[in-house]
Amino acid sequence: MLFLLIGRELRSHVLTYRFFLGFVLLFVLIVSSAVVLGLNYDSRLDAYFESQIARGEQLKEATDFRRFQWRGAQHEKPPNALSVFTVGFERELSRTVTISQWSEPTFGRSKYANPLYTLFPAPDLLYIVNIVGSLLAVLFAFNTVSGEQEDGTLRLVMANSVPRHLVLLAKWAGGYIALIVPFLVSVLVGLALASVFTSFRLSGAEWTAFLAILGVSALYLSCFYTLALAISVATHRSATSLVLSFLAWVVLVLAIPNIAPIVARSLVPVPSPGAIAGQQEALVRGIWAEIRPKMRQAERSQRGTLRDEARHRIADETKRLMKNYLQKVDSQIDAGVALARLSPSASYVYATASLAGSGLEDFAGLRTYIDRYRVDYMQALRDIGEERNRQLEGVSDSDERDEIRNAPIDPDDLPVFVPDRRPMTEILVSADMDLLLLTVLNAVFFLASYVGFLRYDLMR
């Protein structure tokens, strides 16, 4: 009986223009997005390899070791293959990072940036599911019960002494299958075309993350479908159900996620980057103003020591300043995330971005990795300097000494800048709150539908 009812509901959805237009819309958006972002991934991958070659050439031409220590070198993170479907923070994570011995790491402009994508960013799978998919879920379910009540079909079905819970379960399953099948077909076609026409490939761990992204997307679509079903059960007119469902969609998808950061900025104020830059500049000027009189009075052999002491103080004070600033930023982010989680849309975005390796935790992890890498980088430079000092012992010829001191740096002597992807277990632990919220909301909305349908008045 249940399968017959599901088949009836499925046919009632498939034989409508709504299903056809929804299928075409999802197919065009998802497939074109995968191909366009796949081509963009190709260009970013080429730019990354070119930057690695340029970095090697820069090291070969570095004839002033001390200046190289001061200016440092630029590094980039390899492009993330999953950004073809979920961009997230990939644009921020792909920015160049300048690592030097005497100053804090600084982020520059991404070498992968394309002005066209800045003006007209291609919507990724996350955006399509979050906005278009959730809206289609509402349109598929808003008249599931109220529509049949209006045209009298529901009374005919219930006249056959069919248990109400089976009717409700069939309505949910039939409509959800009609929604999720076009989505999965579109994703699989997009995946196939991106793999054929671009260099996009997924590794073993990335395949697991990709399947998990599809699972979370299905859970998110189910959340809005079940919400619209509950609203349809609570009303007796399709027009009323549509208005209320659309209002709920606007509040949950558009209003709460966009208002939450504004409220968080008011609750947890953070100094602007310009103010922090001003404090850092004042700090540097103050330390050099304090050191310069000592350098004038010191002997020539001691000036280098005083200069190094000033640089160490600047590095320590800057690190302390940035640590306090980042702590305030993290507090503001935590407040914004907590407020945004009032919406399933935010939970879906957070969980999906984390699975793709481009979420908030990944951005924080990159900062931690950069600090760790800088320690290894400075140690490698010290080792190179000490080795050259040992080579200079006993060498009296000035030309030979200059040749040793200014010899090119072998790239193999420096650590490789390759931030690791977080293990899947760690990602799931960090996303457990969002996954739990989506699951609980599905259960709550379905329970509301169930209770409302048991009490539904068929005679109104």
Calculate ∠ Cα 437-443-448, nearest 5°: 125
Residue pair 263/339 in contact (Cβ under 8 Å)? The answer is yes
Residue 80, number of CB atoms within 10 A of its CB: 22
H/E element, 117: helix 115-119
Question: What does DSSP assign to residue 106?
Answer: E
The answer for 152, left when phi > 0, alpha when psi is -120 to 50, beta otherwise, is left
CB-based burial label for 303 (10 Å; 0-12, 13-18, 19+)? middle
Residue pair 102/442 in contact (Cβ under 8 Å)? The answer is no
Residue pair 206/82 in contact (Cβ under 8 Å)? The answer is yes
For each successive 10 residues of the chain (460 residues), what is the average pLDDT? Answer: 83 88 95 92 86 74 64 79 88 77 66 51 87 95 86 76 86 93 96 91 89 96 96 90 95 93 90 83 85 76 77 83 86 90 93 90 84 84 80 78 75 80 87 93 95 78
User: What is the three-class DSSP state of 178?
Assistant: helix
What are the backbone angles phi and psi of residue 80, rounded to the nearest 5°?
-90, 120
What are the backbone angles phi and psi of residue 165, rounded to the nearest 5°?
-65, -30
End-to-end Cα distance, the chain: 27
Residue 364, number of CB atoms within 10 A of its CB: 14
Give strand pairing partners of 97.
75, 107
Q: Identify the residue whose tokens are 């010290």.
A: 382
- Looking at residue 56, what is its pLDDT? 74
Q: Identify the residue whose tokens are 């504004």.
A: 262
CA-wise closest residue to 220 among 260, 190, 252: 252
Q: Which two tokens stand for residue 53?
A: 């070659």
**pLDDT tens, residue by residue, 49-91:** 888 787 777 766 665 666 666 667 777 888 889 989 998 888 7
- Looking at residue 23, what is its pLDDT? 95
What are the backbone angles phi and psi of residue 73, rounded to the nearest 5°?
-140, 155
Give strand pairing partners of 75.
97
Sheet holding 106-107, edge to edge: 73-75, 97-99, 106-107
CA-wise closest residue to 335 among 272, 259, 271, 276: 259
- Looking at residue 370, what is its pLDDT? 85
- Looking at residue 162, what is its pLDDT? 80
User: What is the three-class DSSP state of 75?
Assistant: strand
Calculate ∠ Cα 178-183-187, nearest 5°: 155
Report how far residue 9's alpha carbon sits from residue 161's, in angstroms, rounded to the nearest whole number. Answer: 18
What are the backbone angles phi and psi of residue 98, rounded to the nearest 5°?
-95, 120
Largest CA distance in the chain: 107
